[in-house]
Amino acid sequence: MGNVFNLRLERKKRERQREADSAAARRLIHGRSKTERKTEGAQRDKSSNILDGHRLGFGEANEVAGRETINRDRGAQDECES
């Protein structure tokens, strides 16, 4: 006599394997997993925040270089008067 096995369990095992195979194929087609996308997004945000933290403001670059700053809000009339 041959081995006895439960058809219902074998059917479920086959279905799980088929779903796992199709999921692997979809992962190859569509790219990265959700955790990879979230990790990359967090790294991008962190590097952007670090870069923004080191950026000089509008007038700060001239002040650091020792040059005069022009107040652009006052307009061209104030530049002619001085």
According to the model, what pLDDT value does residue 54 have?
77
Q: What is the pLDDT of residue 25?
A: 92
Residue 46 domain boundaries: 7-67
Domain count, the chain: 1
Instruction: Give a three-class secondary structure readout of 9-77.
Output: HHHHHHHHHHHHHHHHHHHHHHCCCHHHHHHHHHHHHHHHHHHHHHCCCCCHHHHHHCCCCCCCCCCHH
Specify if 57 maps to a domain.
yes
Q: What is the DSSP letter of 7?
A: H
Q: Which two tokens stand for residue 66?
A: 């020792």
On the question of pLDDT at 77 being above 60, the answer is no
Supply the pTM of this predicted model. Answer: 0.37
Any domain includes 30: yes
pLDDT tens-digit map of 8-64: 999 999 999 999 999 999 988 888 888 988 999 999 999 998 888 877 666 565 566
- Which 3 state secondary structure label does DSSP give 43? helix
In this predicted structure, what is the pLDDT of residue 53? 81
SS3 state of residue 19: helix
